[in-house]
Structure 1
Amino acid sequence: MSRETSFSDSKRNSTQHSAKQADTNSSVKKKIKCNNDLKIFVVALSLSFMCKYMSGIVMKTSMIYIERRFGTTSFEAGLIDGGFEIGNLLVITLVSHFGTKFHIPKLIGTGCLIMGIGSILSGLPHFFMGYYSYDTSSNFKPLENSTVTYTVCTTDENSEGNMASSVLPEPGCKNESGSHIWIYVLMGNVLRGIGEAPVTPLGIMYIDNFANKGHSAFYIGIVQSLSVIGPLIGFLLTAFCGKMYVDIGYVDLSTIPIKSNDSRWVGAWWLSLLTSGILTIVAGIPFFFIPNNLKKRKLESKIEISLDTPNTKDSRCQNLEFQNPEQIKELKGLAGYFHSLKCLLSNWMYLVYLILTLLDFSSLVGYSTYLLKYLEQQHGISVSKLNIIFGIIMPIVGISFFMGGFISRKLRLSPIGKLKLLFISHTCAYILQVPYLLLGCESKPVAGLTVSYNGNDPGTAPQNITFSFCNSDCNCDANLWDPVCGDNGVTYMSPCLAGCQSSIGHGKDLVFHNCSCVGVSHVQSRNISALLGECSRTEDCSRKLIYFLVLNSFAFFSIGLGKSPELVLMFNNIEPELKSLAIGVHSLVMRAIGGILSPLCFGAVIDLTCLKWGSNHCGEQGACRIYDTVLFKNTFLGLYLGIKAPIFIFCIVLLIGMKKKYQENEWTFL
């Protein structure tokens, strides 16, 4: 009997051991599957971040082509650029509140799909418009071959060559550049902003929910580091497409007389937008195959409050109302929201931090939106080459973000130490950026705009002196912008206004001869001919561009060092219960003022420096062809540096407040 009992117990123990082993194996398999699903999510989120930033760079760097293609002003271009922030603001609060109640990965995948559709929608107007039309004097047809000599300066009032832009508007001219079709580009950018809303907050939250304790920061760091590849691809993609003519595949490129560094050149902006849109849609597909709930780790409900956080007036405002569970119930909903908002806005250090970061963000958005236009006008380099240069510089910014976080962690900086690092980074960057004002080039010598026809600088840009005695016999169109470079180094607004009597060749090889206005310059040249396009900048101006790019790289590396601890500073000055609300208010203010108003203000100021506006076939004002170089530099950089200047005052005020709050006796980093 005892043997049977012993055998029975042994069998039962064996069965229980097998069951435990099976449960253990099952648990291990589930854990492995959970980790694999999370890793797949991290990879997918990294790709979506790359495509998100790539699309943003493509839109910003294509803005100069969009402005020329649709004949908009810089102010309208700023409105198009701000469309992304408008779309994001429309849904960001809804996504933040209701997003967790839905299938998060599928919601992120849907956001990628909407972002991709928005980019594609922005590029589609190209297919519903006519061919790109630009001012040119060489739109007449050859009689026999490409080397026939044509009459350019003529006294015939019925001549089509010089009066081409003065003819009556053609039927259907609204399909040409200068119409309001650019609104569709704006709508596409708004849609892209709507799609971006769930990607960042829900993606970071999903990682934090399901990653093992202490691993979420590592995964988020991977996502942020890989996302730097996105802007790099965006710059290179726009550079590649910008070298191609906008109507490539539809026109004979050998007949196009303008070059890529011409202010009338429009690259294939639509191709870069379509490409980025398709890639963004593809990046969103994996999210539809990722489960919403992974094996959850134990969430700690206890809120860790820093030991060095004092019991200030702001903290008492929060503690008095949240200590009683009954009061928590009563304050749920709208009443709790307004109470939390009141406590947040009564925290003066948070408000100082908000203004500080707003100034920084606003200056950065305005600067990055129009930087390519500034450098093109200032140094005469094509946008496609500039995109390649910034694509090479972009990894430096990514390294600086990593270095800023590494320094904060390695030195174990206190909240005040992080603020000091932010202050030092901004100070070094500002010192490096002030010399920008000394690295500008002189105004371009354009007859009738910046210099007189005899080559003398009148001191100020003359108005309404388009005609001179050297071209008074020519029946020229004063509104035409088809620049030629004379042998005397002066640019003329058109071959007719240069007094050119004949031309030989076609396309980019067109050469104008017997130009009477070129011959009257005080600078005697070997002949009086002119070539298509504006005159090249001097070697001294090219060297200044190199100095500018070097300083710009170091300046943005310095700014990047302070970006990592910048967000953490917000959490150090508010109560833990207000973190999510503080982020929401911060995001709202940054996007509404910095993302929308900043490009509009910069664009409106830049428009004031325009010397020559283009015109379309409808007789309406088009995009600006040439700016007052010196005034553009002083206005653009002055506004940028002026917005950044008060940052140091707010940093000092915040530093004094935090020192008093944390009751530190020594001004040390640690």
Structure 2
Amino acid sequence: MKENGVDNPAFEPPSPEEQRAAPGLSRPSPGEEPRREELCGWGRCAPRGLQLCNNAKGYLLFYSLLSVFQGIIVNGLINVSISTIEKRYELNSSLTGLISASYDIAFCVLCLFISFYGEKGHKPRWLAVGSFLIGLGSLVFSLPHFTSGVYKYGEKLDDTCPATNGQFYNASCTPGSQSSLSNYLYVFILGQLILGAGGTPLYTLGTAFIDDSVPKHKASAYIGIGYSMSLLGPAVGYVLGGQLLKIYVDFNHHVRTDITPEDPRWVGAWWVAFVVCGFCTWLLVAPFSYFPRHLPGTQKIKAEKISEAHHDGKEHKDTSDFPRTLWSLLINPVLMCLVTAAAVEALVATGFATFLPKFIENQFGFSSSYSATLGGVVLIPGAALGQIISGTLVSKLKLDCKNIIKFIVTTCSIALALNSVFLFAKCGNEPFAGVSETYNGTGTLSNLTAPCNENCRCLRSVYLPVCGTDEVQYFSPCYAGCSSVSNQKSGKVYSNCSCIVNPKSTFDNITNGAITGKCASKCTVLPAFLFFFFLTVVFTFMAVTPTTVAILRCVPDTHRSFAMGVHMLFLRILGTIPGPILFGVAIDNSCTLWSVDKCGKTGACWIYNNHLMAYTLMGISATCKVIAIAFTITAFVLYKPPPVQTSASQKTIETETSVQL
């Protein structure tokens, strides 16, 4: 049908059966059966039982399941296992960083093409391909375990005074030498590239399909639920991966071992969850393949929607040309402002997701595992709650594009105010011999060696912190001058420590001694920090779902999937890729004591300046939020809604009524 001589793409002429069932109307009645091409199944095979899921809620169920498994693998298991993989396959942190970045590299390369060409294709079947690739990538990532043989570890010697000449793994210093195990780096990168290719349709075509299939006022609630499920995945991945790391890596070979998970040489069963999740993800291939190109009622929903695309006074024509379509989106100022704001916010979110456990560990003196648990308790529920709340509010209030952008500015401003939590929730450093204070007035500051331990030949390459009875922390029992060790119920207790001369307490009746582990922090602001940081996370993520909805609204209907591709591309280039790098550099700048390996090469940081770390992270976060707010306000000012219009279905009814009259 044509209106004013122009084809109306949102209107499909009714079939003769539809005209007989509802004369005078151009759309199916609410109780009408879906057409054959809208049935769930393969070709003519469309069992009635499958039609129970042939709706937006059924699609959301499988979309959420795929989001969960993708999150478990990519953002959960890999993050948990990366340090274990370093140890098992003798990789350094720069190489494992390349493994982590490979996912985003594949995503950036493919997202524009998949979102552009997938818009014209069968979106659910694109997700079926994505499910297959995610499962395949997970299995490829686990492949090194099955081809690298049984893990072998060397002898570990206690670091007491005088130190023995032994090292971990009985390894000698041979700079430049590299084990053949490090060649598995390329297998891990291949697995990540496949995972990146599989994840691309999920957050581009999958999100656009939801927006196409539900009424405009419900889209934000559906997208919010789907996004919140994507955050459930990392939580499950951290818990599942953490528990499996307590099982020995080669348990399937029935290998006997005399080391425990507390031993630095321990390698856990990192590979098990990758295999299980890979096969589970493959179970989603069939359901996505069965969904039709469009859910029943989609044509009616599209016909009733009124476009809110940014109107700059120019007439935009639909084109199938990739460069022209991309250019039309890049010159859309509202879209690019929203995309940039979202990318800057993502930079902060991914930075804290990576380093919040490290911040808690150093500020409040907890173990790395407990700090990771606290970080997960704050980040995952806060992010999920923020997205669900914002999606529900936008849906219930039926906000248009202009008011959605105003909503984003409000939530970001509140998050900026809450960012001041770093000003009062920081803690100073506990006394550390040779770092923050001298050895009882002997030696020099920032020097671990003092007269009390200079004859111990201590190893700087092994960090085994102990807390002395003088309530001062030492780098290792050797640097505390301890010459004896005994195993007690509370753990190892060191005695005869020459550097501990003013004891304030005792350990098992030992005065000049030390106990394994860091000294307990005297900082008491942790509960306040976790509470206010939780609120900061909630309000930060309250902007995520509305931003996605606004991006889908401010572009023409036929460009929505491609707009999501542009959004995800910038999100990674400006956000998730540089975010951890920027935060890592900032945290490294607050380091006061670096590790030195057996070859004299500087490695990881052992001790940080807590005040400097807190101020640095607050400065980065506040700056990024101010930039995000500025771009969002610019989008609000520049946005111009299209001229007042009626929906396609209303136009059709009005036209047919005038013809009948």
Pairing of 1:453-464 with structure 2 (within 5 A)? 453-454=439-440, 462-463=445-446
Letter of the aligned partner of 2:280 in structure 1? L
Shift of 1:256: 6.3
Kept in 2, the 8 Å contact 1:82–1:599? The answer is: no
Cα distance in 2 for residues equivalent to 1:523 and 1:247: 45
Letter of the aligned partner of 2:162 in structure 1? T
Q: Which residue of 1 aligns with 2:299?
A: 299
Kept in 1, the 8 Å contact 2:127–2:201? The answer is: yes
Distance 1:132 1:654, change over 3 A: farther
2:72 is aligned, of 44, 54, 58, to 54
Letter of the aligned partner of 1:281 in structure 2? W
> Relative to structure 2, which stretch is displaced further, 292-301 or 482-491?
292-301
Cα distance in 2 for residues equivalent to 1:163 and 1:199: 44
> Relative to structure 2, which stretch is displaced further, 528-537 or 421-430?
528-537
Kept in 1, the 8 Å contact 2:132–2:198? The answer is: yes
Q: Which residue of 2 aligns with 1:36?
A: 52
Aligned with 1:351: secondary structure?
A: helix
Cα distance in 1 for residues equivalent to 2:405 and 2:52: 38
Shift of 1:514: 0.5
Distance 1:41 1:71, change over 3 A: same
Q: Indicate yes or no: 2:361 matched with 1:376.
A: yes
Q: Which residue of 1 aligns with 2:462?
A: 480
Cα distance in 2 for residues equivalent to 1:576 and 1:41: 20
Cα distance in 1 for residues equivalent to 2:573 and 2:229: 28
Q: Indicate yes or no: 2:430 matched with 1:449.
A: no
Greater helix proportion: 1
Distance 1:273 1:619, change over 3 A: farther
Q: Which residue of 1 aligns with 2:484?
A: 502
Q: Which residue of 1 aligns with 2:636?
A: 655
1:527 is aligned, of 505, 508, 511, to 511
> Relative to structure 2, which stretch is displaced further, 65-74 or 479-488?
65-74
Pairing of 1:253-652 with structure 2 (within 5 A)? 258=263, 268-284=269-285, 286-287=287-288, 290=290, 297=297, 299=299, 306=306, 314-316=312-314, 318-319=315-316, 322=317, 332-333=320-321, 337-389=322-374, 392-393=377-378, 394-454=380-440, 462-463=445-446, 465-505=447-487, 509-519=491-501, 521=502, 527-538=511-522, 540=523, 543-576=524-557, 578-614=559-595, 622-652=603-633
> Relative to structure 2, which stretch is displaced further, 606-615 or 489-498?
606-615
Distance 1:213 1:501, change over 3 A: closer
Cα distance in 1 for residues equivalent to 2:370 and 2:480: 30
Cα distance in 1 for residues equivalent to 2:153 and 2:622: 37
Q: Indicate yes or no: 2:119 matched with 1:138.
A: no
Aligned with 1:233: secondary structure?
A: helix
Aligned with 2:585: secondary structure?
A: helix
What per-residue deviation string (whole Å, max 9, x for no partner) do you get for residues 220-267 of structure 1?
Answer: 6664565554344223223423555767775646666659xxxx9876
Cα distance in 1 for residues equivalent to 2:65 and 2:586: 37
Aligned with 1:512: secondary structure?
A: strand
Q: Which residue of 2 aligns with 1:113?
A: 132
Letter of the aligned partner of 1:531 in structure 2? I
Shift of 1:440: 2.1
User: Where in structure 1 are there 5+ consecutive unaligned residues?
Assistant: 1-23, 140-151, 323-327, 664-670
Shift of 1:422: 1.0
Distance 1:133 1:642, change over 3 A: farther
Cα distance in 1 for residues equivalent to 2:125 and 2:247: 37
Distance 1:489 1:217, change over 3 A: closer
Distance 1:206 1:554, change over 3 A: closer
Kept in 2, the 8 Å contact 1:352–1:650? The answer is: yes
Kept in 2, the 8 Å contact 1:137–1:494? The answer is: no
Kept in 1, the 8 Å contact 2:308–2:642? The answer is: no
Shift of 1:26: 11
Shift of 1:518: 1.3
What per-residue deviation string (whole Å, max 9, x for no partner) do you get for residues 340-362 of structure 1?
Answer: 44443333333322322221122
Look at both structures and tell me which one has the larger radius of gyration over its CA atoms: 1
Kept in 2, the 8 Å contact 1:499–1:517? The answer is: yes
Shift of 1:528: 0.8
Kept in 2, the 8 Å contact 1:510–1:531? The answer is: yes
> Relative to structure 2, which stretch is displaced further, 56-65 or 82-91?
56-65
Q: Indicate yes or no: 2:201 matched with 1:198.
A: yes
Shift of 1:48: 1.4
Aligned with 1:646: secondary structure?
A: helix
1:174 is aligned, of 179, 184, 187, to 179
Aligned-residue identity in percent: 26
Aligned with 2:346: secondary structure?
A: helix
What per-residue deviation string (whole Å, max 9, x for no partner) do you get for residues 403-446 of structure 1?
Answer: 21222233333333222211111111121222123312222433
Cα distance in 2 for residues equivalent to 1:129 and 1:115: 26
Shift of 1:485: 1.9
Shift of 1:192: 1.3
Q: Which residue of 1 aligns with 2:13?
A: none
* Higher RCO, Cα 8 Å, sep 6+: 1
> Relative to structure 2, which stretch is displaced further, 645-654 or 419-428?
645-654
What per-residue deviation string (whole Å, max 9, x for no partner) do you get for residues 165-201 of structure 1?
Answer: 884449987268xx57555434432321112123344
Aligned with 1:299: secondary structure?
A: helix
Distance 1:303 1:85, change over 3 A: farther
Distance 1:587 1:212, change over 3 A: closer
| Alignment RMSD | 4.4
Kept in 2, the 8 Å contact 1:315–1:575? The answer is: no
Aligned with 2:485: secondary structure?
A: strand
1:154 is aligned, of 137, 158, 162, to 162
Letter of the aligned partner of 2:192 in structure 1? N
Q: Indicate yes or no: 2:108 matched with 1:89.
A: yes
Aligned with 1:485: secondary structure?
A: strand
Kept in 2, the 8 Å contact 1:106–1:287? The answer is: yes
Give TM-score scaled by structure 2 length. 0.75
Aligned with 2:494: secondary structure?
A: strand
Letter of the aligned partner of 1:514 in structure 2? N
Cα distance in 2 for residues equivalent to 1:65 and 1:195: 25
> Relative to structure 2, which stretch is displaced further, 100-109 or 375-384?
100-109
> Relative to structure 2, which stretch is displaced further, 232-241 or 354-363?
232-241
Letter of the aligned partner of 1:199 in structure 2? L
Give TM-score scaled by structure 1 length. 0.74
Cα distance in 1 for residues equivalent to 2:266 and 2:521: 18
Aligned with 1:471: secondary structure?
A: coil
Cα distance in 1 for residues equivalent to 2:305 and 2:125: 34
> Relative to structure 2, which stretch is displaced further, 442-451 or 422-431?
442-451
Distance 1:418 1:138, change over 3 A: same
Kept in 2, the 8 Å contact 1:418–1:565? The answer is: yes
User: Where in structure 2 are there 5+ consecutive unaligned residues?
Assistant: 1-31, 40-45, 645-661
